Structure 1
């Protein structure tokens, strides 16, 4: 499969997912973006088009940790869970961003669940 075909397929999946889910201030959307090197997550309030909190594998405390990308992804999930708890958020809607629920995306979800988020 060519790269452009993969990207357009993933974009179509993203559109289908976003048509079904939306975040609010009380139950924001936990959006995951996975690049080849890093992973980024955001808590998004779609009603006000605002990002409430974010975390990534490029944050200084996570980037300084030893481990592979999958282990760092779990730390990113735990970091976003801590930030959500500080904001008083306990439940979120998970948006995998068109990626398969496998590998690093799954590790982010497991880390967020370990941190106390419910989705």
Structure 2
């Protein structure tokens, strides 16, 4: 019997989520990954398989909720500069907790429709 790890379960949740979430050029996928050191956010157009914008917290130091809000806000501002008004939120199999909510709230504050 194979022992499953937390990482395996997260990957399964992410694959299940990706069946439903798909990004386009008008409404890209806002993909979030949280590691032990940083928070990473990307805007991805799945039709072209291209990353439109990427931001992380490695230079800002930390992975708390305030940093997450700043990253969500910067990602949304970059999307609005490119003429993108909305995005589909992809939490990457992680729980929608305090930091995920802060990323989404920061993007909404900047004017991105999630």
Q: Given the alignment of the two structures, is residue 92 of structure 1 paired with residue 97 of structure 2, yes or no?
A: no
Q: Is the 8 A contact 2:40 2:54 kept in 1?
A: yes
- Please show how residues 34-45 of structure 1 align to structure 2 within 5 Å: 34-45=34-45
Give the Cα separation in 1 of the matches to 2:24 and 2:109.
22
Give the Cα separation in 2 of the matches to 1:68 and 1:14.
21
Q: Which has the higher helix share?
A: 1
Between Structure 1 and Structure 2, how many residues are aligned? Answer: 112
Give the Cα separation in 1 of the matches to 2:52 and 2:63.
28
Q: Give the aligned partner of residue 105 of structure 2.
A: 110
Deviation track 1:89-109 (CA, whole Å, cap 9, x = no partner) reads: 011000000001112111111
Q: Is the 8 A contact 1:37 1:69 kept in 2?
A: no
The Cα RMSD (Å) is 1.7
- Which stretches in structure 2 are left out of the alignment for 5+ residues? none
Q: 1:9 to 1:52 in 2, by over 3 A?
A: same
TM-score norm. by structure 1 comes to: 0.88
Shift >4 Å, 4+ stretches: none
TM-score norm. by structure 2 comes to: 0.92
